[in-house]
Structure 1
Amino acid sequence: MTRGKTCTLPPENLQIEAAQSWLARARSSLLLARQAPQQGVFLEDLAFQAQQAAEKAIKAVYLRFGLAFRYTHDLEELLAGLEGTGCTIPAAVRESITLTRFAVEARYPSPAEPLSPDELQEATDLAQTVLEWASQLISSQD
């Protein structure tokens, strides 16, 4: 995938399937984020999976409604795009924009303080909120 590229829109009858596929991937990422860390696994890497869960869930909403999205990890940009189409974004979902930092910065060595278990829990809770919102939106349109 090229940076700045937009997704291809599936025909109407495939939009639900495409959205469900993205939701399945979002659920998988959330399960990975919630795994008990093994020795040698960085909490930041698990937080990246939480960010990915939220990102994939948001993109599933785009697909369900036949909307194009830019391939970006910026959750604020993705939510703003949905809002621009008239979609109401709940405050709890909007909070997920804080996960964007885990998309790139947290995946690489950094002089920043390591992520705490509480911060990881907060990240997975935010991702769960986004996933539930997206699932509800998508299923209510079936």
Structure 2
Amino acid sequence: MKEKAAAEAVSKEARVAEARDAKALEDANADRNNLNKAVEDLKVEVQNRVTILEEVTARTTETEAQAREAAEARDSLTTSLNQLREDCDWMRDHGIRHIVETVLDAPDKATTVNEHKERARETGFKVGYN
């Protein structure tokens, strides 16, 4: 009897332990499922962030390219402006006199200019006599 009672007690303890282990296994499976779901959610979130990062990187690259183009255009315009200023200064300081001298010294214009000078002198003499 004692052996039977001891065997039943051991058997009962084994069933209780088995039930506890089954409950622990179910809890572990539930925890594993929750962790798997959390891992999947995190993978989706990481993928979304990677996509966002790729979009931001692409926009940044495009913006940098536009900034370089704008800087090149600005440099080109600055160079053109400086050249125009130098041309304007040269024209003011040397160009007009050079153009007038070129016109006055041109062979086909020399006779016309001399005729105008002569007529002006003659007109001046006539006015002076009158």
Length-normalised TM-score, structure 2: 0.21
Asked which structure has the greater CA Rg, the reply is 2
TM-score normalised per structure 1: 0.20
Q: Which has the higher contact order (CA 8 A, sep 6+)?
A: 1
